[in-house]
Structure 1
Amino acid sequence: MTVEDRLPDQGRPALSGRLLTGLAWAVLLLGLWLWGREVTDGRQGISGPATGDMAAVGRPPRLPPAARPLGDASPLRLDIPELGVQAPVVGRGLDRQGAIDPPPFDQAGVVGWYASGAKPGAAGPALMVGHVDTETRPAVFYKLSVLRPGETIRVIRDDGKVAEFTVDDVEVLRRDHFDARHAYGQRRPGRAELRLITCGGTFDRASRSYTANVVVSAYLTGTGR
């Protein structure tokens, strides 16, 4: 998830630095344990633009109503039409430190789903993580921060259904004031929700990590096949 350098004042990760062997997912350590099965609604996350693309993110005046949650089924593919993303999804667990174990860097086009949590389309917040870049090229969530409320995310499931989500929030949560309950918890009781998470902010050379996480929140609004 991290690279050594960023392009100055452009809000885009540089593709020329040495690839760090570790991932900037330490922020998830405490969050996943708190999240568990009983996270309450949280509203205290600190957010701010991490890139020029994130400036002045607005909420459309009307968003569609939430659809009834689906039954349990595992995700096979994630489609984000606005970003041109069509990515396979693989189930992932936690690493030895308690963070989501994302796909390895040689699978930078693959999305990792926290398989011990909610299934996309079923009630609860389903968590998906992805790399922002690699040593040589953008990765699956490179443009995640440009999503806007009202845009569509689709998850193809192994029951043949397509869970259609509508983005309702795009935030950049600073790691020095990270609110795990806000990032991972249920926003509205009873809804089927989806969180897409990657690195954001600026690259801090001292800690060798990004200063924030981009968190896209969406909720189920339809079903197709």
Structure 2
Amino acid sequence: MSDVHGRSSGTGRLVTVLAWALLLIGLWLWGRGVTGVPENPARPGTGDVAGLGTATVPLPPAAEPLGAAPPQRIDIPELGVQAPVMARGLDSRGAVDPPPFNRPDVVGWYGYGTAPGAAGAALMVGHVDTESRPAVFYKLSTLKPGETVRVVRADGRVAHFTIDDIRVLARDDFDAQQAYGPREPGRAELRLITCGGSFDRASRSYTANVVVSAYLTGTGP
């Protein structure tokens, strides 16, 4: 995880390492269904999962990372998503705190980590549904490698990401480092995360997480 504030002291690096370790523990718990989204158990939570997989088509080369700037909006053309982004921290269990339940069409960005477009893996979380309707990441699992995610940043630049991997990770066999850690050193990467699998009535949580991975391939208006 890169330090958005650019601190280079030994203390800063130590704080960053400790924060990353805490985040991974929290994400591991979240992946195991500790942070469930309340929903109507009679309705599926993730839409069609047939498109899951890794890239089998040629993908563009990675672009040079940008500087740090907070995200303002995320666009996913294939899903018709244009959603505002709010910075979020960690909840009481150490997981990324998603947007409030009364704002299901907003995406949360882990504001103490990597900014989208900067080197490292930027984390964005969104609800899959509410008790009454689909939410912003309802069809996240239908994305495919080669498709595009755009993030509008506060510095006026638009970071273009290309999806290279979509996974459904079961909560009972969850590896937070493998799911959320950077895939290639020095590359600007993006993770889009929501609940997945089926809804477990006993625990009132989902059985898995959907994790979409993408990397920076350009910038534009």
Report the TM range for the smaller structure's normalisation.
0.7 to 0.9
Cα 1:80–1:100 change in 2 (3 A) is same
Pairing 1:105–2:101 present: yes
- Rounded to whole Å, the distance in 2 between the matches of 1:83 and 1:123 is 26
SS at match of 2:102: helix
Equivalent residues of 1:60, 1:150 under 8 A apart = no
| Runs of 4+ residues over 4 Å off in structure 1 | none
Pairing 1:158–2:194 present: no
Equivalent residues of 2:51, 2:142 under 8 A apart = no
2:81 equivalent in structure 1: 85
SS at match of 2:66: coil
- Rounded to whole Å, the distance in 2 between the matches of 1:124 and 1:2 is 31
TM-score (normalizing by structure 1): 0.79
- Rounded to whole Å, the distance in 1 between the matches of 2:154 and 2:106 is 17
- What is the letter of the counterpart of residue 5 of structure 1? P
2:39 equivalent in structure 1: 3
Superposition deviation, residue 105 in structure 1: 1.1
- What is the letter of the counterpart of residue 79 of structure 2? L
Pairing 1:116–2:112 present: yes
2:63 equivalent in structure 1: 67
- Rounded to whole Å, the distance in 2 between the matches of 1:52 and 1:84 is 16
Superposition deviation, residue 221 in structure 1: 0.2
Alignment of 1:177-196 (within 5 A): 177-196=173-192
- Rounded to whole Å, the distance in 2 between the matches of 1:199 and 1:99 is 13
Match 1:206 to one of 193, 199, 202: 202
TM-score (normalizing by structure 2): 0.80
Aligned length: 185
Match 1:145 to one of 141, 144, 148: 141
2:218 equivalent in structure 1: 222
Superposition deviation, residue 95 in structure 1: 1.2
- What is the letter of the counterpart of residue 144 of structure 1? L
Equivalent residues of 1:202, 1:211 under 8 A apart = yes
RMSD of Structure 2 on Structure 1 (CA): 1.4
SS at match of 2:167: strand
Q: Give identity over the alignment, percent.
A: 68
2:21 equivalent in structure 1: none
Segments of structure 2 that go 5 or more residues without pairing to the other structure are 1-36
Q: Deviations over 1:127-147 (max 9, x none)?
A: 000000111111000000000
Moved more, 67-76 or 94-103: 94-103
- What is the letter of the counterpart of residue 106 of structure 2? V
Equivalent residues of 1:133, 1:140 under 8 A apart = yes
SS at match of 2:178: helix
Cα 1:86–1:116 change in 2 (3 A) is same
- Rounded to whole Å, the distance in 2 between the matches of 1:173 and 1:130 is 16
Q: Deviations over 1:166-219 (max 9, x none)?
A: 000000000000000011101011100000000000111121111000000000
SS at match of 1:106: coil
Equivalent residues of 2:54, 2:164 under 8 A apart = no
- What is the letter of the counterpart of residue 191 of structure 1? R
